[in-house]
Structure 1
Amino acid sequence: MTPLRLPFFVYGTLRPGGSNHHLVRPALTGPPRPARLPGAVLYAGPGYPFALDDPHGTVTGDFLTPDPAAYGDLLAALDHLEEYVPGDPANLYDRVPRTVTLTADARPARAWTYLAAPATASRLRRHGERIGGDEWRP
């Protein structure tokens, strides 16, 4: 089954200035746009953040619109970076569709984002360090 061809919402190392932004920059049709993901909070990882579902939080990040010609390669590269394999219970992250709010005009938009997979989220809630505020900075 072919996944939906959604834009991406990123909140960590894939953002402009982040250590992995070079992986997405060539595949985009325009500049990243500031956006917010309601219903999520951030936890610290080893050099990168994890977003977890939480109805009381919001995560700040960027909305990325990929070039249709580069979409398949970009999706594969991001899944590889996030070590995401569809249906694998050992995933650290799950790629999920979410509605984000574009900051410039408060318009909602659907996007893929990588949230902590259930086992990762459970471990972080028990033993992790929640990041104060709604934005991760390296």
Structure 2
Amino acid sequence: MRHNVRKSDVKHQSIFNRKQAISVSVIRVFIYGSLLPGQSNHHVVSNYVRSYMPGVVAGRLVDVGPYPAAVRDHAAKDGQASIRGQWITVDRQGLAAMDMLEDFYGIEESNEYDRIWVSDLESRGLAGWVYVWDTDRGCPAIPDRYWPDYAGVRADKHRNI
């Protein structure tokens, strides 16, 4: 028997699945900047990480200074830009630590970053949370898809000045 499904039902189901993902003991998050191993804020999550896996998500990076921001604007949503990073699995405490670092207070709150659900562009079925901006907020674009590559080049340039 076929049932009619309203858009609002699909949206509710999607939100339910995301809430359910938080209630499980292992939560997947895509990291792309200062939370990566070897970067300035990795210590915030290092004790909570259970696994790492390389990944690529739609988006572009902008230079905020000591760290990047991932932007999910029209170019990113059209698949014209992508970001390389790591998928990590953490527990609820790890997610809470990242929420605090990223000034994320909850859906529909006034947040520095939004936490949204995304899928990996190269690994079918791989999905999780990522912290993003919806605009670049006037920050310059990063030409590289991978923050450590850009940050390393930038640091080398500053040393040679």
Superposition TM-score, scaled by structure 1 size: 0.79
Within 5 Å, give how 1:13-24 maps onto structure 2: 13-24=34-45
- Which letter does structure 2 place at the counterpart of 1:19? S
Q: Which has the higher contact order (CA 8 A, sep 6+)?
A: 1
Quote the residue 1:73 is aligned against. Answer: 93
Higher relative strand content: 1
Count of residue correspondences: 122
SS at match of 1:26: coil
1:12 aligns with 2:23: no
Quote the residue 1:41 is aligned against. Answer: 60
Query: 1:101 and 1:64 mapped to 2: Cα distance?
Result: 16
Quote the residue 1:51 is aligned against. Answer: 70
Compare CA radii of gyration and give the structure with the larger one.
2
Q: What is the CA distance between 1:59 and its match in structure 2?
A: 0.1
1:95 aligns with 2:119: no
**Any runs of at least 4 consecutive aligned residues in structure 1 with deviations exceeding 6 A, and if so which?**
none
Q: What is the root-mean-square deviation in Å for CA atoms of aligned residues?
A: 2.0
- Which letter does structure 2 place at the counterpart of 1:111? G
Native 8 Å contact 2:62 2:139 kept in 1: yes
Higher relative helix content: 2
Q: What is the CA distance between 1:109 and its match in structure 2?
A: 0.5
Native 8 Å contact 2:71 2:136 kept in 1: no
Q: Percent identity?
A: 28
| 122 and 35 in structure 1: CA distance in 2 versus 1, 3 angstrom threshold | closer
Q: What is the CA distance between 1:85 and its match in structure 2?
A: 1.1
SS at match of 1:19: coil
Q: Deviations over 1:20-43 (max 9, x none)?
A: 11221221223x2211112x1110
1:25 aligns with 2:76: no
Q: Deviations over 1:103-134 (max 9, x none)?
A: xxx44411110011x4xx252xxx22000021
1:61 aligns with 2:70: no
Quote the residue 1:129 is aligned against. Answer: 140
Q: Which runs of 5+ in 2 are unaligned?
A: 1-15, 152-161
Q: What is the CA distance between 1:96 and its match in structure 2?
A: 0.6
Q: Which runs of 5+ in 1 are unaligned?
A: none
